[in-house]
Amino acid sequence: MTRSSSRPCLRGRCKLSGIALGRPWATCGREQPWITTDHHQDGGRRDTVDNDEVDDALSRGGDAESRDVRAAVKSSLTVETGSRRGQTTPSPLPSPLFRIRRSNSKRPDRARRTRNSPPRRAQLAALAPRLHAVHYPLQPPATMAATTAAEPASAAPQQTSKATRMIATAELAQHNTPTSLWVAIRGHVYDLTDFVARHPGGTDVLLFVAGRDATQLFEIYHPLKTRNMLHKYAIGTLTDNELPVFPPPSPFFVELKDRVDAYFKSSGQDPKYSVWTWGRYAVIYGMWFAAYYAQFYVPWVVDRLWAQVACAAVLGFFCAQIGLHPLHDASHCAMTHAPWMWQVLGATHDFLNGCSYVVWTYQHLLGHHPYTNIAGADPDILTGDPDVRRIKPSQRYFSHYNYQQWFVPVLYGVLGIKTRIQDVSIIYVLKSNDKIRINPMTVWHTAVFWLGKAFFVWHRIYLPLQVCSWDRVLILFLIADLVASYWLALTFQANHVVVETEWPQPNPKTNEMSIDWATMQVKTTQDYAHLDPFWTVATGALNYQTVHHLFPNISQFHYPALGEITKQVCKEHGIKYLVKDTFWEALGSHLGHLRILGLGLDMKKAE
């Protein structure tokens, strides 16, 4: 007889309660260190629960419900599996056969007797429905609600524990401050107020996600096993879905994350660090200052309008690079492991570009990334009815869309001005961006917001007026803004608003998605120019947008290497990876998308 120290969770039917427990070994993989396995020569196998190890596991945390259930079933249960030679036993499952027995820890050599008394049967019958939720808390909220509702009334405890409390989205949304911070993950609500100051990722990230469902961000930015650390903060179950919810991580995403982790372990590289990235930052900030200074303080340039125009264009290009490099990296916590550095890098967007880092974070991190191309959830594709453009199949058709492929790209030039005005409206008037609610601003965020706006007006308008006429200042300002706006807008549109990407929608009744999050990211994103280093640098590696959406917390410097890994895993799982050979092909696909939806060809095809 051989003995192993641990084995995956069992699946079977409790002989006392008659209720199915657990999941198949092939789909579980969760090791339970308090279960030991005896392999017998006759092919059977006996798994014994060790009381001491269960006590140790219970002491490490878990919500109240988990502790109650595990404590109730920890009493030295023994599970026998496998069919014995020459023995045929009827069972609801063809194989393996399960029998639950009580072990005698004092006399292990004695035959174990089955404990099947009526009180014991009733106890397990009451607790067994919760076992699945305890061991597999990643099920969708609707499933958990159904499981809870299915419990017999007689099994309900006399007092409702905090962990079994039912919490609506409206109540969750009220707890969005440092003094009362709740988040929802996979249908469970956690009170992280006492954890905010100790969060390794800093306080800002938790303040942004406070009062809402943070499932996708949590699973993107943390190893899946990190979820186990949250049990002691559980306070209840979310009863409704404000925004779309996704199935648990798919085998595709689990395997992809494993391969990426293996790549960094084997190469010895830090996913959040690259000396070359710091070099790019230095060039970007240096060129921004040089172009700005030359426009107004170098006599030879000031005396020649064409030279000032050229400097303004260069300034605009590097304003866009600030958005694509330091701002983008900081908002995703993708450069360094220091939260204060993310705050500083993000603030440069306020001071040098005049656009709010906070508004960008809500729109991009909390809206666009979790809900890419989902109408009503992704602020990047927010449209009116009617609107100046039709980009979503769900939009109604109006005749002015007929020529949108010609006039809409021209409007992209006002992106910068539009963003600066919307910043104030979103934070202080609407207090939301589409369906992404804006939480109360901290003192730091408020100071950066208003000081950034003031500094932008001072250095882009007031100081230039001291050395140039107002008309020349206006021309130079507009040129720089047009260059920055066009570069950013066309870069973003060529990634998502194109012919081949999909526009998924949740179930209108349950708000649940039929596609898992990672697969959706691949199907709603298009790459381009993988082999061109210019576009890799000039777009902040967004020519690898698929990789960025799957691993936003990794430095863009690593995207080319991760792109090959991602394409290989997509191929193995039968998922189409969209990539164009050049940027111009990708841009052409965007214009083609505008033409198709502008002429209503998508509706004719649907008919």
Residue 82 has pLDDT above 50, yes or no: no
Q: Which residues pair with 234 in a beta bridge?
A: 190
The whole-number pLDDT of residue 607 equals 59
What is the residue-averaged pLDDT of the chain?
81
44 is a domain residue: yes
The whole-number pLDDT of residue 462 equals 98
CA torsion angle for 121, 122, 126, 127 (degrees, to 10)? -40
Q: Which amino acid is at 302?
A: V
The whole-number pLDDT of residue 145 equals 41
DSSP assignment letter at 486: H
Does 229 lie in the same domain as 83?
no
Does 421 lie in the same domain as 526?
yes
How far is 600 from 94, CA to CA, in rounded Å? 55
The whole-number pLDDT of residue 157 equals 37
> Around Cβ 585, how many Cβ atoms within 10 Å?
15
Percent of the chain with pLDDT over 90: 70
Residue 2: its H or E element: strand 2-4
Does 373 lie in the same domain as 292?
yes
Give Rg (Cα) of the chain. Answer: 29
546 is a domain residue: yes
**Span 142-176, pLDDT tens digits:** 434 433 333 333 333 334 456 679 999 999 999 99
40 is a domain residue: yes
DSSP assignment letter at 17: T
247 is a domain residue: no
Q: Which residues pair with 177 in a beta bridge?
A: 180
Percent of the chain with pLDDT over 70: 72
> Around Cβ 26, how many Cβ atoms within 10 Å?
8
Q: Is 401 left (phi over 0), alpha (psi -120 to 50) or beta?
A: alpha
Does 443 lie in the same domain as 392?
yes
Helices 415-425 and 470-496 sit at what angle, rounded to 10 degrees?
A: 90
Question: What is the b/e burial string over 509-538, where b = at least 16 CB atoms within 10 angstroms of the residue's CB?
Answer: eebbbebbbbbbbbbbbbbbbbeeeebbbb
- Report the CATH number that the domain containing residue 176 is assigned in CATH: 3.10.120.10
**Span 479-538, pLDDT tens digits:** 999 999 999 999 999 999 999 999 999 999 999 999 999 999 999 999 999 999 999 999
Q: Of the given ranges (93-97, 332-336, 348-352, 593-597), which has the lowest mean pLDDT?
A: 93-97
The whole-number pLDDT of residue 508 equals 92
The whole-number pLDDT of residue 581 equals 97
The whole-number pLDDT of residue 606 equals 62
Does 314 lie in the same domain as 199?
no
Average pLDDT rounded to a whole number, residues 559-574: 97
The whole-number pLDDT of residue 161 equals 54
264 is a domain residue: yes
Does 457 lie in the same domain as 412?
yes
The whole-number pLDDT of residue 229 equals 86
544 is a domain residue: yes
Residue 10 has pLDDT above 70, yes or no: no
Does 183 lie in the same domain as 302?
no
How far is 143 from 146, CA to CA, in rounded Å? 5
Residue 97 has pLDDT above 90, yes or no: no
Does 493 lie in the same domain as 423?
yes
What HEC string does 82-128 produce? CCCCCCCCCCCCCCCCCEEEECCCCCCCCCCCCCCCHHHHHHHHHHH
Domain enclosing residue 530, as ranges: 253-606
Q: Which two tokens stand for residue 8?
A: 């995956």
Does 599 lie in the same domain as 458?
yes
The whole-number pLDDT of residue 123 equals 52
Residue 454 has pLDDT above 70, yes or no: yes
**Span 98-142, pLDDT tens digits:** 333 444 444 444 444 444 445 554 554 454 444 434 333 444 444
Q: Which of 188, 221, 242 is the last residue of a domain?
A: 242
Q: What are phi and psi of 564, to 5 degrees?
A: -65, -40
pLDDT band at 50 (very low <50, low <70, confident <90, very high): very low
Average pLDDT rounded to a whole number, residues 338-356: 97
The whole-number pLDDT of residue 12 equals 44
Q: Which of 223, 242, 261 is the last residue of a domain?
A: 242
Q: ω before 386 within 30° of 0 (cis)?
A: yes
pLDDT band at 388 (very low <50, low <70, confident <90, very high): very high
Residue 48 has pLDDT above 70, yes or no: no
Residue 346 has pLDDT above 90, yes or no: yes
Average pLDDT rounded to a whole number, residues 474-483: 98
Q: What are phi and psi of 527, to 5 degrees?
A: -100, 175
Residue 578 has pLDDT above 60, yes or no: yes
C-beta separation of 535 from 583 below 8 A: yes
Q: Of the given ranges (72-76, 441-445, 453-457, 561-565), which has the lowest mean pLDDT?
A: 72-76
The whole-number pLDDT of residue 227 equals 79
Does 488 lie in the same domain as 455?
yes
Our count of domains for the chain comes to: 3
pLDDT band at 311 (very low <50, low <70, confident <90, very high): very high
Does 214 lie in the same domain as 109?
no
pLDDT band at 226 (very low <50, low <70, confident <90, very high): confident
248 is a domain residue: no
Q: Which residues pair with 21 in a beta bridge?
A: 12
Q: Which of 193, 213, 242 is the last residue of a domain?
A: 242
DSSP assignment letter at 165: E
Q: Which two tokens stand for residue 49?
A: 């629960």
How far is 607 from 596, CA to CA, in rounded Å? 15
Does 261 lie in the same domain as 223?
no
What HEC string does 384-438 produce? CCCCCCCCCCCCCCCHHHHHHHHHHHHHHHHHHHHHHHHHHHHHHHHCEECCEEC
How far is 573 from 271, CA to CA, in rounded Å? 25
